[in-house]
Structure 1
Amino acid sequence: MEFSGLVLICIFFLLLALNVPISFCIGVSTVAAMLISIDFIPATTTVAQRMVGGLDSFALLAIPLFVLSGLLMGRGGVARKLIECAMALIGMLPGGLALVNVMSCTLFGSISGSAVAATSAIGSFMIPEMEKKGYNREFSTAVTCAASTTGMIIPPSNILIIYAIASGGVSISALFVAGYLPGILLASLLMMVCAVYAMKNGFPTEPALPLKLVAQKVWAAVPSLVLIVIVIGGILGGIFTATEAGAIAVLYSLILAVPVYKEVKLDQLKPLFLKAGEISAIVLLLISASSAMSWMLSYENIPETISNALLTISENPIIILLIINLILILVGAFMDMTPAVLIFTPIFLPIAESLGMSPIHFGVMMVLNLSIGLCSPPVGSVLFVGCSVGNTSIDKLIKPMIPLYLAMFVALMVVTFVPAVSEFLPTLLGLM
């Protein structure tokens, strides 16, 4: 690794430690590294060109569209419909309310594409309800935080789109389909933890509802769930691309939120559009800055250097994958998912491919891994939102989070070392 590569890495982490916004950390460190070998004007011009080039992708249009769709769903009364549906279906099982929490967060997270939105929308209702039934407030909050991360893996997921861009053009359709089984696996393991906790503490089950009422609750939630069918079905059927699916999702969410559920008034649309623009601008700035950094990393052969360093530790693929997962878990605890995916995909994907891992398999593994960081201190955004909604503190959440962390780690290991979990559906549908 040349001196400029060391400068890039050192300045990046120094600025990060000083709490400088991540986009500026990336951009400033990249320019600083280039100044080692060329003058100021050519360096800044090259970085600007790479940043603009990083945004020159039709697939990126899907991000602001799915962000807006998620905001509309979040304000459109979807959360309540999904909670009532989950309660009708599984509320009578051991640990019924906790299971309902997991299922509701999974469904809402996949529809909205936001773990933070799922934590806020579902947690504000489920945490008080669980506490009324005798559940510990901290455990209820921990369940909400952990379950909300499943929406990052189950499509439509913005982070999977970002990974597709960072990986150099992996099929978004294949990634979307690949996320289903790992997401269901993670939700199932979290439910098992909840059931054991409930039986150990003797929590009562919820009364079973009459079949007619169950059918009514499920039917009321169908319009919300249809969004997933429309998006994935349209993409797989070749009716529209992932980007066009984002536009369809916005239109459908708008119809659902305004005239159908009547939860969003016309005068409330402008703030939602502005919020979607704000979130999209942050994400796209990260993508553009990371494009310049990725080029610089490649120019300095840093991915190859790291690959050779890992291979000197061991030639055993199991050991190398465990090391990569450990690094990503530590990264996820200190860095948000989007910059982590943009920065570390170009570094670790070539190593994974040299071990025989497909880009689809690695992408799902990486997103699942970094999802753990969303509910991990010190930077986990979901953890902070959960504490706010649950009116508790992070230090009180650590103990109840431990068995949930364990369940998430088990899911990660299964996804890492059993490729079929990620690749079965894409292969079955001819996407790989």
Structure 2
Amino acid sequence: MTMIDPFTVALLLILFLAFGGLSMGLAMICGAFTYLLLGGYDPSIASETLLQGLFHGYTLLAIPLFILAADIMNIGTLADRLLRFSQALVGRFKGGLGHVNVVSSLIFSGMSGSAVADAVGMGKIIITMMTKDGKYSGSYAAAITAASATIGPIIPPSIPMVLYALVSDQSVGYLFAAGMLPGLLMGVVLIIMNMIIAHRRGFATDEAIPLRELPATTFRAIPALLLPVILLGGIYGGVMTPTEAAAVAAFYALSISILLYRSVTFKGFYQALLGSARSTATVGILIAGALTFDYVVTRENVPQMMADFLAQYDLSRVGFLLAINVMFLVLGCILESGAILLIIVPIFLPTAQALGIDLVHFGVVAVVNAMLGLITPPYGLLLFIVASITKQPLIRIVKDLLPFLAALLVALGVITFVPDFVLFLPRLLGYKG
């Protein structure tokens, strides 16, 4: 009998490899195999667990299709038309381009389902617009872009919601519906904070698109604006599953980009396919690692151990949710959002159920926390993305980001402690929770 605890060795190995620069997915695969070898188990268990998880994870097919749809919109003119439409709506107010940034993220999020796609696609365009005439500093443009990009995976479609559905066995459709009002709330608090900062710093009023051009601008954007309508209408109308809706989204984005806007070249489409393949591979490795390591976590009975540990403190629902928020925000500083949803969240699902917390509501709370982790210093992935776009020092971006992060934490408080707000739309659509 070995004197080394295989689980402890596996955890230490994962941490060492992850902080050493290896992707979290590969680190978890290495940790799982190490656990099996040290524990004297058949290593083929890992492969069997992975295959079983993928076999029952039909909804995972939605992820590469949503990624492809977002990449197609970035190579076409859909993003430009949506940005022009947003500018016509809110660009005339003080701090107008900041408002445009948030509104364009709200609209674009209804198509991409990815915070990174939002920041890289729409974000790159709006940052250039904000900094072109020197009205906004590069760090401020980067900060509000990173903050608004967190809305992307909250408003449906949402790749993180699909990942949560995988580990919690909840309906993707109801999770999508539950994210709509929280996403809008996050957009509202960001607009309010941008308005306050604009007045305090005396930002100049941006040049507005004349109201008489609004109908024409809206008409040109209608084909792009119809995408989320078709997508969500198909899901909630029972016509399509989320996976089929993702396929329709990719096909629709490609069709209107080629046939209507004529803005996609063969080279551009090829680049979109390559980019989608890379992004899908990244997510796929993370899922593979999570599925294999989940076997280890289950075998070690970690969820029950965690439930017993928390039971010692006799936490109420409010206390548990508060502890979860603090824990997830701290973990968000060092872990990828996908890793939090696939590894950490399942550990707490039994406790949440035991406390009577609705798992759809809990899913939205978990996803919002994971997204805020993308802008939480020092690791926040979105911070590095916008820093690379603007060439601004990270410390300056973080300084300008803090007011927006504070506003989003207020929204998180409402989302966490007012479950009826989150579950209002799912209940209208027939959810019994």
Q: TM-score range by the shorter chain?
A: over 0.9
Distance 1:355 1:381 in 2: 33
Larger displacement relative to structure 2 (30-39 or 145-154): 30-39
Is there any run of 5+ residues in structure 2 with no aligned partner, and where?
none
Q: Return the alpha-carbon distance in structure 2 between the equivalents of residues 375 and 262 of structure 1.
A: 36
Equivalent AA in structure 2 for residue 98 of structure 1:
G
Deviations 1:287-331 (A, max 9, x none): 122112112211211111122222324423322222211111121
In structure 2, C-alpha distance between the alignment counterparts of 1:74 and 1:311, rounded to whole Å: 48
The offset of 1:27, in angstroms, is: 1.1
1:175-190 correspondence runs (5 A): 175-190=175-190
Give the secondary-structure state (helix, strand or coil) at the position aligned to 1:416: helix
Partner of 1:66: 66
Cross-structure match for 2:378: 378
CA distance 1:398–1:339, change in 2 (3 Å): same
Residue 361 of structure 1 is matched in structure 2 by: 361
Which has the higher mean CA deviation after the structures are superposed, 44-53 or 333-342? 333-342
What residue is the counterpart of 2:142 in the other structure? 141
Greater Cα offset, 271-280 or 337-346: 271-280
Aligned partner of residue 347 in structure 1, secondary structure:
helix
Q: Give the alignment of 1:2-401 within 5 angstroms.
A: 3-39=5-41, 42=42, 44-56=43-55, 57-131=57-131, 132=133, 134-167=135-168, 169-206=169-206, 209-401=209-401
Q: What code does the residue aligned with 2:188 have? A: S
Deviations 1:93-122 (A, max 9, x none): 232121111111222233222222222233
Letter in 1 for 2:30: V
Partner-residue secondary structure (3-state), 1:334:
coil
The amino acid across from 1:135 in the alignment is Y
Q: Shift of residue 187 of structure 1?
A: 0.7
The 8 Å contact of residues 316 and 355 in structure 2, kept in 1 or not, is answered as no
With structure 1 as the length reference, what TM-score do the two structures score?
0.94
State the 1:72 CA deviation: 0.4
Aligned-partner Cα distance in 2 for 1:141–1:50: 41
After TM superposition, give the deviation of residue 426 of structure 1 in Å. 0.3
Alpha carbons of structure 1 residues 275 and 126: separation in structure 2 relative to 1, 3 Å: closer
Query: Is the 8 Å Cα contact of residues 87 and 208 (structure 2) preserved in structure 1?
Result: no
Per-residue CA deviation, residues 176-208 of structure 1 (Å, 9 max, x unaligned), is 111100000001001110000011122233455
For 1:166, what is the secondary structure of its paired residue? helix
Identity of aligned residues (%): 34
Deviations 1:10-53 (A, max 9, x none): 222222222222112111111222234324xx1x1101100111
Distance (Å, rounded) in 2 between the aligned partners of 1:343 and 1:377: 21
Tell me the distance in 1 between the aligned counterparts of 2:124 and 2:14: 37
3-state SS of paired residue (1:379):
coil
TM-score (norm 2): 0.94
Please tell me whether the aligned partners of residues 54 and 287 of structure 1 are also in contact (alpha carbons under 8 angstroms). no
Q: For the Cα contact (< 8 Å) 1:175–1:363, is it kept in 2?
A: yes
Give the drift of 1:172: 0.5
Residue 5 and residue 377 in structure 1: after superposition, are their counterparts in 2 closer, same or farther (change >3 A)? same
CA distance in 1, matches of 2:210, 2:274: 44
Offset at 1:266?
A: 2.3
Q: 1:55 aligns to what SS in structure 2?
A: helix
* Amino acid across the alignment from 1:425: L
Note the aligned Cα RMSD (angstroms): 1.8
Letter in 1 for 2:350: P
Worse overlay, 313-322 or 72-81? 313-322
Please report how far the alpha carbon of residue 428 of structure 1 lies from its aligned counterpart in structure 2 after TM superposition.
0.8
**Matched residue type, 1:273:** L
Deviation at 1:149, TM superposition (A): 1.0
Question: In 1, distance between residues paired with 2:102 and 2:211?
Answer: 22
Corresponding letter in the other structure for 1:77: T
Structure 1: 5+ residue stretches without partners: none
- 1:414 aligned partner: 414
SS of 1:179's partner is: helix
Name which of structure 1's ranges 148-157 and 124-133 shifts more when overlaid on structure 2: 124-133
Residue 430 of structure 1 aligns to a residue whose secondary structure is coil
Q: Which moved more, 1:343-352 or 1:360-369?
A: 343-352
